[in-house]
Amino acid sequence: MNDLDAENRLRFEQLVLPHVDAAFNLARWLLRSREDAEDVAQEALLRACRFFRGFHGGDARAWLLQIVRNTCYSWLEKNRPRDLMVEFDEELHPQPVATPESIAIADEGRERLNRALETVPPRFREVLILRELEGCSYKEIAEITSIPIGTVMSSLSRARRQLHSALANSSHKEATREV
Amino acid sequence: MRCDFADSHLHGYFDGELSDPSAAEFERHLQHCVHCAVELVDLDLLSGQLQTARLYEAAPASFRKKIRTNLRPVVPTPAHAPSLLLSWRWQAAAALFLAALIVWRVIPAFHGAEDYQAQFAAGIVDAHLRSLLPGQITNVNSNDPKTLRAWFDGKIKFTFPIRDFRDQGFSLQGGRVDVVQGRTVAALVYANRKHLVNVFAWPTPEPDVSPRAGSRQGYQWIDWRKDKMEFCAVSDAPTSDLEQLQDLLTE
**How many CB pairs below 8 A link A and B?**
140
| Closest listed residue to residue A27, CA positions, set A86, A85, A68, A64 | A68
**Domain check: are A126 and A39 in the same one?**
no
Q: Is A33 on the interface with B (CB under 8 A)?
A: no
The percent of residues above 90 in pLDDT, for chain B, comes to: 20
The answer, yes or no, to whether residue B212 has pLDDT greater than 50, is yes
The mean pLDDT value of chain A amounts to 81
Chain A residue numbers touching B219 (CB-CB < 8 A): 135
Is A106 a residue whose pLDDT tops 60? no
d(CA B169, CA B127): 23
pLDDT tier for residue B14 given thresholds of 50, 70 and 90: very high
Contacts of A53 (CB under 8 A, 6+ apart): A4, A8
Both A111 and A65 in one domain: the answer is no
The answer on A50 and A126 residing in a single domain is no
How many independent structural domains does chain A possess?
2
Q: Which residue has the higher pLDDT, B128 or A99?
A: B128
- Per-residue pLDDT band for B190 (boundaries 50, 70, 90) equals very high
| CA A61, chain centre distance (Å) | 14
Instruction: Say what the pLDDT of residue B106 is.
Output: 59
Q: Which of B6, B56, B71 lies at the smallest CB-CB distance from A133?
A: B56
Asked which of A38, A58, A85 is the last residue of a domain, the reply is A85
Q: Which of B12, B33, B52 is the last residue of a domain?
A: B52
pLDDT the model gives residue A22 = 93
pLDDT of residue A9: 78
B48-61 per-position pLDDT tens digit: 888 777 788 888 88
- A50/A80 same-domain check: yes
Of the candidates B46, B216, B241, which has its C-beta nearest A164's C-beta? B46
Identify all chain A residues contacting B75, using CB atoms and an 8 Å cutoff. 3-6, 9
- Cross-chain Cβ contact B51/A6 below 8 Å: no
B20 lies in a domain? yes
Q: Does A21 touch chain B (CB under 8 A)?
A: yes
- Residue A46: CATH number of its domain: 1.10.1740
Mean pLDDT of B128-154: 83
Which residues pair with residue B215 across a beta bridge?
B220
Asked if residue B43 is part of any domain, the answer here is yes
Low-confidence winner among B62-76, B161-175, B192-206, B218-232 (lowest mean pLDDT):
B62-76
**Are residues B141 and B242 both part of a single domain?**
yes
Residue B105 C-alpha, separation from nearest chain A C-alpha, in angstroms: 11
Q: For residues B215 and B201, is the Cβ–Cβ distance under 8 A?
A: no
Task: Kindly state whether residues A53 and A122 are assigned to the same domain.
Answer: no
Q: Please indicate, yes or no, whether residues A69 and A97 belong to a single structural domain of this protein.
A: no
Give the mean model confidence (pLDDT) for residues A121-135: 92
* Residue B85: inside a domain: no
Q: What is the pLDDT of residue B77?
A: 41
Q: pLDDT tens digits for A140-167? A: 999 999 999 889 999 999 999 999 888 8
Q: Are strands B219-226 and B171-180 parallel, antiparallel or unpaired?
A: unpaired
Annotate chain B with three-state secondary structure: CCCHHHHHHHHHHHCCCCCHHHHHHHHHHHCCCHHHHHHHHHHHHHHHHHHHCCCCCCCCHHHHHHHHHHHHHHCCCCCCHHHHHHHHHHHHHHHHHHHHHHHHHHHHHHHHHHHHHHHHHHHHHHHHHHHCCCCCCCCEECCCHHHHHHHHHCCCCCCCCCCCEHHHCEEEEEEEEEEECCEEEEEEEEEECCEEEEEEEEECCCCCEEEEEEEECCEEEEEEEECCEEEEEEECCCHHHHHHHHHHHHC
**CA separation for the pair A20, B70 (Å, rounded):** 14
Give pLDDT, residue B81: 41
**CB contacts, 8 Å: B112 with chain A:** none
| Of the residues B52, B67, B90, the one at which a domain ends | B52
Mean pLDDT of A77-96: 63
- The verdict on B46 and B142 lying in the same domain is no
Question: Could you list the residue range(s) of the whole structural domain that residue A174 is in?
Answer: 87-179
B114 contacts A41? CB cut-off 8 A: no
Give the pLDDT band (50/70/90) at residue B211. confident
Q: What's chain B's average pLDDT?
A: 80
Residues of A in contact with B197 (CB under 8 A): none
d(CA B209, CA B227): 10
Query: pLDDT for B74-87, tens place per residue?
Result: 443 444 444 444 45
pLDDT band at A127 (very low <50, low <70, confident <90, very high): very high
**Is residue A93 located within the same domain as residue A81?**
no
Does A68 share its domain with A133? no
Dihedral sign for Cα B120, B125, B126, B131, please: positive
**Rounded CA gap, B56 and B44, in Å?**
18
**How far apart are the CA of B115 and the nearest CA of chain A, in angstroms?**
10
Q: Which of residues 131-160 of A touch B (CB under 8 A)?
A: 131-140, 153-154, 156-157, 160
Within this chain, do residues A25 and A5 fall inside the same structural domain, yes or no? yes
State the DSSP code for A52.
Answer: G
Non-local CB neighbours of A15 within 8 Å, separated by 6+ positions: A60
A167 shares a domain with A110: yes
Q: What is the share, in percent, of chain A residues with pLDDT greater than 70?
A: 79
Give the pairing of strands B195-203 and B209-216.
Answer: unpaired
CA dihedral B226, B227, B229, B230 (to 10 degrees): 20
Range of the domain at B224: 136-250
CATH classification at residue B235? 3.30.200.100
Max Cα-Cα span within chain B: 81
Helix (H, G, I), strand (E, B) or coil at A4: coil
- Pair A141, A64 in one domain: no
The CATH number of residue A164's host domain is: 1.10.10.10
Judgement on whether residues A51 and A102 belong to the same structural domain of the protein: no
Domain end position, chosen among A36, A68, A85: A85
Give the predicted TM-score (pTM) of the model: 0.53
Domains contained in chain B, number: 2
* ipTM surpassing 0.85: no
**Amino acid B207: pLDDT:** 83
- Express the helix, strand and coil content of chain A in percent, nearest 5 each: 75, 0, 25
pLDDT value at position B159?
Answer: 87
Q: What percent of chain A has pLDDT over 90?
A: 39
Q: State the angle between helix axes of A6-15 and B107-131 in degrees (0 to 180), rounded to the nearest 10.
A: 10
Cβ-proximal residues to A122 (8 Å cutoff; 6+ apart), any chain: A30, A73, A76, A83, A84
Q: Are B175 and B187 in contact (CB under 8 A)?
A: yes
Indicate if the pLDDT at residue A129 is higher than 90: yes
Q: Average pLDDT, stretch A92-101?
A: 44
CA atoms of B187 and B82, how far apart (whole Å) = 61
Q: Give the whole-angstrom CA distance, residue B33 versus residue B38.
A: 9
Contact A140, A130 (CB under 8 A): yes
